[in-house]
Amino acid sequence: MAHRVSDIRLGVKTRVFHLGDYRRATVGPGQDVPDDYFFVNGEDISDLGGCEVSTEALDDASAASVLLRQKILRKCREDIYHFFDKEKGQIAIYDAVNPLAAGRRVLAKEFAKHDVQTLFIESACDDVRIIEENYVGWSSNDAVQHYLARITAKIPHFETMNESELNYIKMINAGERLSVNNCSFGYLSHRIVFYLLNLHIKSRHTYFARAGNPSKGDSYKLDASLAEQGIDYARKMGDTLVKHREEERQALIDRGGPDTPLKSLTIWTSPRRRTVETAHYLQQKGYRVRQRSQMSQLNPGSYHDLAVRLEPIILELEREQNDLLIIAHESVLRVLYGYLMACNATDIPTLSFPRNEIIEIIPASYNNQAKRIHIPDLPSEIIPASPEDIRIPVASSGVVSPMNGLGSPMSGAQSPMEGNRSPDKDYVTPKEPGSGTHLLVERALRGSET
């Protein structure tokens, strides 16, 4: 959920701080925290904000566990303050369970001392179908039982949000219903609410494919039809995708998954002639095709301009519940891929989409996964990237980038902050109207992913 919320960050400097990553970075690879780490101490309530605690046991946590918990929380908060104060960050996603009302109140007061407004998000799920979709390969009963056991073990006495003095959003069943307590919402808070209204976490695969090569050169000014090679590419790309989806379905059945039909596949193209004609082969097979004017490549322009223009597409992409094939120019694919895969802005211009590959984006709990599907038997001359795109510049260093780096630690990193500094340090972020200088988005959890 935290990484999905962070994707509202078009034009806003944002970073995710996942407390579980800090815990793993502190205890070391392959190590676990003490058994009493999640026990509640009555005198320790001031340190429970953001801590994934358990009230199942009657015994208090040991002194060593309390000190470890305080060390982890302190490091995470120090990095948040550094992000706000030194890197001019605007939104920090503080990803932790926060199960107790008392701990949430303490947390809000602590950050308020640093001129940080806090917005809590509670994600609740009691829809068995959604739980089953997130346990691919499990039987329905086993999935539900395993899920509920994880929740009970971690937070058996979760207190749902009813604190009238706090800003919070309750999201029920992946966007089926939203409940908002608005004490002092500003522009960014309202934007988060709007984003969550368009969000769902139901399983869906997204595919990216280049348009076929045109008959009159790869130029922005010429809206040419496909060459014969382009028509051949469209047929081979379509056949490859149809075959891959059926093979994936069969592999799921072989692993014990349900024998259910494939999700419907919707195709989006830009209005450019060659992208429309690339989709024509699949359209003749009965697949639905929609033209999206925002997906035309921008020339001249910048990736920042293109990302801002694509924001309505991104919101509609989040609403889409069918599998989705997007056929577009490389510059458009780079921005959409960067959004879904949380890429650093400096990496977006170098993303490669050769014509002999379909990119599949597979949803996962923390970060989506990408897979390259090879399209066989294409002539080598149509495979390389488009030279036209090289002349589309990246936004200058003084402009806020639509996609910043994330703050969770890399594998083996000593600190979650190492190697993840955002490049646009000179940018001065605007204040959140009607609030403090910064916004902290906090996550609480009830019957959702841990």
DSSP symbol at 399: S
Distance of CA 164 to the CA centre of its chain: 29
Nearest Cα to Cα of residue 329 among 311, 347, 303 = 303
Contact criterion met (CB below 8 Å) for 101 and 447: no
Residue tagged active-site, from 95, 232, 389, 424: 95
Residue 167 and residue 353: Cα distance in Å, rounded? Answer: 42
Give the number of other Cβ atoms within 10 Å of residue 106's Cβ: 17
Q: Is 44 a catalytic residue?
A: no
Kindly list the distances between the CA atom of residue 22 and the CA atoms of 16, 33, 261, in Å, as whole numbers in the listed order.
12, 12, 41
CA distance 392 to 383: 20
Q: Determine the Cα–Cα distance for residues 174 and 355; give it in Å rounded to an integer.
A: 35
Start-to-end C-alpha separation, the chain: 10
Residue 129 identity (one-letter amino acid): R
Q: In angstroms, rounded to a whole number, what is the distance separating the alpha carbons of residues 437 and 435?
A: 7
Residue with the two structure tokens 């890197």: 87
Q: How far apart are CA 104 and CA 109, in angstroms?
A: 9
Tell me, rounded to whole angstroms, the distance of Cα 283 from its chain centroid. 30
Please provide residue 78's backbone torsions phi and psi, each rounded to the nearest 5 degrees. Answer: -60, -40
444 Ramachandran zone, left/alpha/beta (phi>0; psi -120 to 50): beta
Q: Tally the C-alpha atoms within 13 A of residue 232's C-alpha that lie toward its C-beta.
A: 11
Tell me which H or E stretch contains 148. helix 140-154
DSSP string, 255-268: TT----PPPPEEEE
Residue 18 token pair: 């996942």
Nearest 5°: the CA angle 77, 81, 82 is 115
User: Which residues are tagged catalytic?
Assistant: 95
